[in-house]
Amino acid sequence: MERLTIKAPSGLIHLKDNTEMTMNVAIKKLSDFEDLEEQNRLLKLPCAVGDTVHHLCTFKNGESEIIEMKVECVEPCGAIRQHKGVCEIWNVYAETDYTKAYFKFFDFGKTVFLTKEEAETTLKELERE
């Protein structure tokens, strides 16, 4: 879908073309998004391809570590993978130079975080327990 607006460095939003036709199309597009939001049909993803996420990984020995990973794939409706003979559904695939991981959207805020600070706060809470 063609973008109808331009965001200026000042934060102001301008129409790409100031014609009445463009303004009507932009208003219709906004109206469609508002309708979807009111119907609870607007999907807001926790991350996008290229984002950095911070995975709070807890090992079998009880040690925990924060691993910074790059999101390589986002599947809004979920995808299935076969792992150790079990079918698993995942939404986000992320990797580093040495490891990869598959996450579900509900992992965000629990073991996967968008900022390092959130991950560190959760890690400190785990260490207190």
Report yes or no on 45 lying in a domain.
Answer: no
Report yes or no on 46 lying in a domain.
Answer: no
pLDDT of residue 21: 62
pLDDT of residue 3: 73
Assess whether 32 and 60 both reside in one domain.
Answer: no
Assess whether 56 and 91 both reside in one domain.
Answer: yes
Assess whether 122 and 67 both reside in one domain.
Answer: yes
Query: Residue 100 sits in which domain range?
Result: 52-128
The string of pLDDT tens digits covering residues 67-123 is: 999 999 999 999 999 989 999 999 999 999 999 999 999 999 999 999 999 999 999
pTM for the whole structure: 0.73
pLDDT of residue 29: 85
Report yes or no on 43 lying in a domain.
Answer: no
Strand partners of residue 95: 70, 100
Report how many domains make up the chain: 2
The string of pLDDT tens digits covering residues 10-34 is: 777 777 776 666 777 788 888 888 8
In terms of Cα–Cα distance, which of 119, 115, 105, 112 is closest to 46?
Answer: 105
